[in-house]
Amino acid sequence: MSRRRASIKEVRGEVALFRRRALAGFFLLLLGLIAVCSRYVYLQVFHHDEFVTRSEQNRVKPRSIPPARGLIYDRNGVLLADNVPAFRLEVTPEQVANMDDMLQKLSAVVPISDDDIVTFKKQVKLGRRFEGIPLKLKLTEDEIGRFAVNRWRFPGVDVVPYLTRRYPLGPSLAHVIGYVSRIDVDDLNNMDDDEEASYKGTTHIGRIGIERSYEKLLHGEPGYELVEVNADGRTQAVLDTTPPTPGKNIYLSIDVRLQKAALDAMAGRSGAAIAIDPRNGQVLAFASVPDFDPNLFVNGISSVDYKNLMTAPDKPLYNRALRGVYPPGSTVKPFLALGGLTMGIRRPSDTVLSTGEFCIPGQSRCYRDDVRGGNGTVNMVRAIELSTNTYFYRLALDMGIDRLAQWMGSLGFGSKTGIDLTGEVEGVLPSREWKAKHSKAGWYPGETIISGIGQGYWAVTPIQLAHAVATFAGHGVPYAPHLLMDTQDGVDAARVPQSFPPTGPSVIRKPQDWDTVNEGMIAVINSGAGTGKKLGIGFPFVIAGKSGTAERFSRKSDAYDNNKNTAYLANRHRALFIAYTPAEDPKIAVAVVLEAGAWGAADSGPIARKILDQWVVDSGGARPTALPPGPITLSDAPAEAAPVEDAPASAGSVQGAQPAAPSSAELPPDDNGEDQ
């Protein structure tokens, strides 16, 4: 204490003390600085490589470059599916701290639908956290602008350019091309790792139709680029690029002019019309009515649009040509006749007496002809021409259901035709096996009889019918119908034809068999008494064909139904028509099915004819003169339906009634109305 109170300090000692302290302090501080420096040595020398790697991992990210999807053309190079530039909103979840909060703030800038958010969140859950996941597709310019202003608020969110699909022809080929739509969680789950890698950066995948069947051709292979990113994940520079391989372009065998002619001729009536080149199985036209606009689906269909399509009574999304099943009715008769010849059960000259009723020997149950009193004595050609039921009842009975099923099966009935579209159905080919699977009852002879005229268990898709008629027209050589014609690597490359060899040898044993049936089908169109007797007028080639009218409902009573109102009948009937031309050397085969048509020949026949007319024009011929107005024929009644006499006197009263307008008995002009 006394030392501190001293008024005079001991200065010299204090200075020496300070010096020692300063030196000691400096020494300690130097040690401290050396300690800090040694930490830098540790980081910068001994762990340098590790941190270089981590710095590069920070900075350099691989990005996949999605390939441009292959374009789709018709056989003449008309563009059917196009890629157009668009912008989408993409989120890298890893860079978003609070996803819900971000989405809420973002939707104040760019409206985002609940559907988008649900899809997005599902994909986020899949764990692709370090990649951009599309949130909203096809931004409007306004949305892009508003986001650009607010971009800084949303790290991890980017506007990304991409190519979106456009179908310039809209609905007319919807059932052929189908559409692409956003890849969803199920798609990803169904992919193996390699596939998933090849879809990195791709937002769309073929959903149905050609887009789906040829997904592998159209998709291409993604490229990669190494990009330098900043901490927000925004690209600063591209360091290295491996370009993607674009998908192949596809040329379909479809001829859009023929397709349009088919659709025009259908005039909105539900059904299907298919044209096939019998020489190679190429599908020239493939119309399923009604149709829909595939463009709606590409960037996510709105729930209102989707509900409208799903609830529409005529089911526009339903591909009738591929999946609709109908009783073929009398259209099976030429095929059955060919079977009779091939099996040696019938000679062309064998005749049958048609009395208007055919009864199984020993049974009281009888089956009717179309015409009261029958067609009299008919041979095979005449039986096809007049569609004489009795002839085919007997033929079916003689053949037996087993041989019938086997023969018709060889023409493709009861199995998928193998067309290059997904979702095809098998239909029903009547057989013991089929019945055993679906019923406890055994096979009855009566069922064989009605199978002979395309009724009973029969269920045939339009593509099966077209396939069968094309197979016949092509002298029995079966080709799986196909839409793919050529592929192409890029627009400037040559088209590479795709070969689709026949699926088997010709089903025809002797050329004369074919000639006989061909003669019958020519007579249908060209004789004075044929069921399609006006369809050939003014056409430069010989058309061969066969009508079919099948009942939609089973008959309620045994009585003849004398109601001849076409609207009434259209409600009850399905109208079918098959045709090919030129008859001596067929180059096009057509099948038409109307879900609601009074008569096969009268309603579906003109549609087939219009397709053939267009085909003549497309092949370089002059447009054939149009059909004369008036009824074609009425003699092709549904098998068990009321017999109907030949064309009624009241000309012009039969055509094209719409099922929707049963009261319009006076009938508006239909597809034939264009000629005076």
What type of residue is 302? Answer: S
Contact 579, 334 (CB under 8 A): no
Q: Pick between residue 18 and residue 560 the one whose CB is nearest to other proteins.
A: 18
**Residues of this chain, 86-105, that bind other proteins according to CB under 8 A:** 97
Per-residue buried b or exposed e for 565-578, using 16+ beta carbons within 10 Å of the residue's own CB: bbbbbbbbbbbbbb
Compute the least distance from the CB of residue 17 to other proteins, in Å: 4
Residue 291 CB-density burial (10 A; 0-12 exposed, 13-18 middle, 19+ buried):
buried
Q: Pick between residue 230 and residue 439 the one whose CB is nearest to other proteins.
A: 230
Query: Count residues contacting other proteins (CB under 8 A)?
Result: 46
Contact 270, 489 (CB under 8 A): no
Which one, of 53, 50, 56, lies nearest residue 239 by Cα?
56
Residue 383 structure tokens: 């039986």
Select the residue interacting with other proteins from 160, 226, 229, 360 (CB under 8 A).
229
Which residues are CB-neighbours of 499 under 8 A, at least 6 positions away? none
Compute the least distance from the CB of residue 32 to other proteins, in Å: 5
d(CA 50, CA 13): 54
Residue 531 structure tokens: 């069921």
Residue 586 structure tokens: 């067929």
Is 635 noted as a catalytic residue in this protein?
A: no
Contact 175, 205 (CB under 8 A): no
Q: Pick between residue 33 and residue 661 the one whose CB is nearest to other proteins.
A: 33
Compute the least distance from the CB of residue 10 to other proteins, in Å: 7
> 3-state SS string over 33-90?
HHHHHHHHHHHHHHCHHHHHHHHHHHHEEEEEECCCCCCEECCCCCEEEEEEEEEEEE
Does 40 interact with other proteins (rule: CB under 8 A)? yes
Does 26 interact with other proteins (rule: CB under 8 A)? yes
The region of 121-129, 201-209, 227-235, 629-637 touching other proteins under the rule CB under 8 A is: 227-235
Compute the least distance from the CB of residue 4 to other proteins, in Å: 4
Does 33 interact with other proteins (rule: CB under 8 A)? yes
Q: Up-side HSE of residue 332: CA atoms within 13 Å toward CB?
A: 39
**Residues of this chain, 172-191, that bind other proteins according to CB under 8 A:** none
d(CA 8, CA 2): 12
Does 6 interact with other proteins (rule: CB under 8 A)? yes
Q: Pick between residue 14 and residue 100 the one whose CB is nearest to other proteins.
A: 14
Does 127 interact with other proteins (rule: CB under 8 A)? no
Q: Pick between residue 35 and residue 622 the one whose CB is nearest to other proteins.
A: 35
Encoded one letter per residue, x for contact with other proteins by CB under 8 A and - for no contact, window 44-63 reads xx-xx-xxx-xx--xx----
Contact 626, 609 (CB under 8 A): no
Does 225 interact with other proteins (rule: CB under 8 A)? no
Does 238 interact with other proteins (rule: CB under 8 A)? no
- Which stretches does DSSP call E strand in 72-148? 72-73, 79-91, 133-136
Does 144 interact with other proteins (rule: CB under 8 A)? no
Q: 238-243 contacts: CB < 8 A, separation 24 or more?
A: 239/60, 241/65, 242/65, 243/65
Compute the least distance from the CB of residue 39 to other proteins, in Å: 4
Which residues are CB-neighbours of 51 under 8 A, at least 6 positions away? 43
Residue 38 structure tokens: 């040694």
Select the residue interacting with other proteins from 76, 113, 140, 236 (CB under 8 A).
236
Encoded one letter per residue, x for contact with other proteins by CB under 8 A and - for no contact, window 310-329 reads --------------------
Does 18 interact with other proteins (rule: CB under 8 A)? yes
Select the residue interacting with other proteins from 232, 264, 489, 515 (CB under 8 A).
232
Does 293 interact with other proteins (rule: CB under 8 A)? no
Angle at the Cα of 229 from the Cα atoms of 226 and 235, rounded to 5 degrees: 80
Compute the least distance from the CB of residue 26 to other proteins, in Å: 5
Does 115 interact with other proteins (rule: CB under 8 A)? no
Question: Kind of pairing, strands 544-551 and 496-497?
Answer: unpaired
Select the residue interacting with other proteins from 76, 104, 140, 230 (CB under 8 A).
230
Compute the least distance from the CB of residue 15 to other proteins, in Å: 8
d(CA 250, CA 77): 10
Select the residue interacting with other proteins from 12, 41, 188, 543 (CB under 8 A).
41
Q: Pick between residue 61 and residue 552 the one whose CB is nearest to other proteins.
A: 61
Q: Pick between residue 59 and residue 279 the one whose CB is nearest to other proteins.
A: 59
Q: Report CA 137 to chain centroid distance, whole Å.
A: 24
Helix (H, G, I), strand (E, B) or coil at 588: strand
Phi and psi at residue 389, in whole multiples of 5°?
-60, -45
Select the residue interacting with other proteins from 21, 125, 129, 372 (CB under 8 A).
21
Residue 650 structure tokens: 């009241």
Does 43 interact with other proteins (rule: CB under 8 A)? yes
Pick the catalytic residue from 181, 270, 288, 330.
Answer: 330
Select the residue interacting with other proteins from 196, 215, 221, 228 (CB under 8 A).
228
Angle at the Cα of 80 from the Cα atoms of 74 and 84, rounded to 5 degrees: 145
**Before 582, cis peptide (omega within 30)?**
yes
Does 108 interact with other proteins (rule: CB under 8 A)? no
Compute the least distance from the CB of residue 161 to other proteins, in Å: 23
The region of 10-18, 158-166, 329-337, 600-608 touching other proteins under the rule CB under 8 A is: 10-18
Q: Pick between residue 57 and residue 663 the one whose CB is nearest to other proteins.
A: 57
Compute the least distance from the CB of residue 233 to other proteins, in Å: 10
Does 623 interact with other proteins (rule: CB under 8 A)? no
CB atoms within 10 A of CB 313: 7
Does 304 interact with other proteins (rule: CB under 8 A)? no
H helix or E strand, kind and range, residue 516? helix 511-526
* Percentage helix, strand, coil for the chain under 3-state DSSP, each rounded to 5: 40, 20, 40
Compute the least distance from the CB of residue 126 to other proteins, in Å: 20
Residue 79 structure tokens: 């563009």
Select the residue interacting with other proteins from 4, 12, 437, 556 (CB under 8 A).
4
Catalytic residues: 330
Contacts to other proteins by CB under 8 A: 1, 3-6, 9-10, 14-15, 17-19, 21-23, 25-26, 29-30, 32-33, 35-37, 39-41, 43-45, 47-48, 50-52, 54-55, 58-59, 97, 228-232, 236
